[in-house]
Structure 1
């Protein structure tokens, strides 16, 4: 199966946002409200130890700090990662606007991608896993290179054929 695709900026932006969410969404959800708990424990511990030192007060302060420090660390890490991700995404969009077409060719032995004159061959054993998220097929290599194909790019019927084909070719080890 061979598919010739055209670059669509909106599809690309959605796919890159999907990749970002896959990387950070769980961490964001885990630490989302932890700063409230950490601050509450810190305040309670400070109030308990305000008049006189207390084991419980220090324990609350330590637990509060134990919750707040990872939250602060990941807050700044995710924030800087998003900023870098947006810069890369903007540069990629600028570069991809000049691409007239690209192809995905699914063969029995490999997946062949071709962008302009550059061709890459990925044997099926090179893939670690595949995911289906929001009508996108994400194929991830062992070197953690994502290849994404959207249903709107190839059509619903072809997308189902590709999914069936990929399910048989990429063996996910559990």
Structure 2
């Protein structure tokens, strides 16, 4: 199966946002909730220390665990924010690069996935893919180097997208049976 994909900035941005959510959404939710728990523990600990400073040091334990939750929240807040800024810079660079190359050929063969755009040629053997995910009408193929290749239903059409998904699913099932 061979497809010619035309670059669309809006589709690309939505695909990159989807990849960001897959990577960080659960961690963001977890640490957002842990900050509230940390503040609550620290507040209870400070109240216990203030009212009764020598009750087996329990107030200090609450303050310690509260601050450890808050420190992890602050660490991941800045880490995720930094990653998002870098991702935005990469998105802008990619959009500028694809401004000149308007299309990309994607070919699904029995042995490999072949992607060509302009002067660039990329051949990825099926054994190099670790997993695939179908999410929000997007097919995400993940290589062993954790490099995602994402294909949207809008880019190839509904019938072709279903055909691609069944082809990829057969490739992964065949690989599991052969192992």
Name the SS for the 1:36 alignment partner. Answer: helix
Partner of 1:68: 70
Q: Give runs of ≥4 in structure 1 deviating > 4 Å.
A: none
Q: Residue 117 of structure 2 aligns with which residue? A: 115
Report the equivalent of 2:149.
147
Give the structure-2-normalised TM-score: 0.92
Is residue 27 of structure 2 the alignment partner of residue 27 of structure 1? yes
Q: Using the TM superposition, name which of 27-36 and 11-20 deviates more.
A: 27-36
Unaligned regions of 5+ residues in structure 1, if any?
none
How many matched pairs? Answer: 173
The normalised TM-score by structure 1 is 0.95
Q: Distance in 1 between matches of 2:153 and 2:73?
A: 37
2 CA distance for matches of 1:101 and 1:144?
Answer: 24
Counterparts of 1:118 and 1:94 in 2: how far apart (Å)? 16
* SS state at 1:144 partner: coil
Q: Could you tell me how far 1:53 is from its partner in structure 2?
A: 3.4
Per-residue Cα deviation, 1:110-137 (whole angstroms, up to 9, x for no partner):
1000011211111111100000011000
Residue 40 (structure 1) shift: 1.4
